[in-house]
Amino acid sequence: MTAMHDQFDTLARMYEDMFRLPWRRHLEKHSVLSALGSFGDRAVLDVGCGTGVYTREVRRRGAARVTGYDVSEGMVARARLIERGEPLGIEYSTEPPDPATDCYDLALGVYVLPYAEDYRSLVNVCAAAGRVLRPGGLFVTLPVNPDYDGRRDYYARYGFRLWDAEPRADASRVTLELAFGPYHEKITARHWSRTTLERALAEASFTDVTWLDFQVAPQGVQEHGREFWAPYLCCPHASLITCRKK
């Protein structure tokens, strides 16, 4: 059987282009970077870095050392290719960092929790950050919003559709259909309840779990108007969680 993350091996280009969508550029990125705070002198780990869109952003914003970790060979190959063309000193790996030799101040994991197929994998992906963060280190992560709007067209104006492929329960399948530019792809993600996400984070040695609201950057409001953002802000498809290593 194919693992959930194998579906990403051939989707590198689409994930890069997706970053141009207003929802990612003006809302998600703005909110994630605000949640992470300042980067000066910090070592940052990007778990499930994909092609490294956030990894590069964090490095350009002044992080002292940045590592991208992703299980997908295809995603990491693309990230390394970009690094060769525009060297930023980022290391990419398909292996999680080793706590015996590595330590980080900040970690992010954007849309990686939704690809854990069972509870143990959910804990493990959180622990990939938890094991190497220093005590008090911040982890910012975005699972599927446990209360997302399951009506098929609710998020269509943002370039995607999302619906329950089976009744909503822990690890139940959620279909994400990405339809923008030349792309039309279906991806299978997993629903995790609020309680289970918090339990998994606690088991991966995190505390102070906080569920933040998304915010739109002023440029996003200027370009698209408040009306455009209202449905997303009212019921986002993702949740924005911060927590701290014990």
Ligand X SMILES: C[S@@+](CC[C@H](N)C(=O)[O-])C[C@H]1O[C@@H](n2cnc3c(N)ncnc32)[C@H](O)[C@@H]1O
Should residue 53 be labelled a site residue for ligand X when binding is judged by CB under 6 A?
Answer: yes
Instruction: Output 43 or 49, the one with its CB closest to ligand X.
Output: 49
Site string for ligand X, 150-189 (x = CB under 6 A): ----------------------------------------
Q: What is residue 182's three-state secondary structure?
A: coil
Tell me how far, at minimum, the Cβ of 140 lies from ligand X, in Å: 11
Query: Which residue's Cβ has the minimum distance to ligand X?
Result: 50
* Residues 8, 110 contacting (CB under 8 angstroms): no
Using CB under 6 A, pick the residue from 26, 31, 63, 70 that binds ligand X.
Answer: 70
Cα–Cα distance, 139 to 210 (Å, whole number): 11
Should residue 72 be labelled a site residue for ligand X when binding is judged by CB under 6 A?
Answer: yes
* Residues 46, 68 contacting (CB under 8 angstroms): yes
Using CB under 6 A, pick the residue from 8, 23, 154, 214 that binds ligand X.
Answer: 8
Should residue 30 be labelled a site residue for ligand X when binding is judged by CB under 6 A?
Answer: no
Tell me how far, at minimum, the Cβ of 162 lies from ligand X, in Å: 13
Should residue 23 be labelled a site residue for ligand X when binding is judged by CB under 6 A?
Answer: no
Site for ligand X in 97-156 (CB under 6 A): 110-112, 115, 125, 128
The full DSSP string for 52-112 is: THHHHHHHHTTBSEEEEE-S-HHHHHHHHHHHHHS----EEESSPPPTTT--EEEEEEET-
Should residue 5 be labelled a site residue for ligand X when binding is judged by CB under 6 A?
Answer: yes
Other beta carbons within 10 angstroms of residue 53's beta carbon come to 20
Cα–Cα distance, 246 to 232 (Å, whole number): 32
Size of the site for ligand X (CB under 6 A): 20
* Residues 54, 47 contacting (CB under 8 angstroms): no
Cα–Cα distance, 187 to 176 (Å, whole number): 5
Residues that bind ligand X (CB under 6 A): 5, 8, 15, 47-50, 53-54, 69-72, 75, 110-112, 115, 125, 128
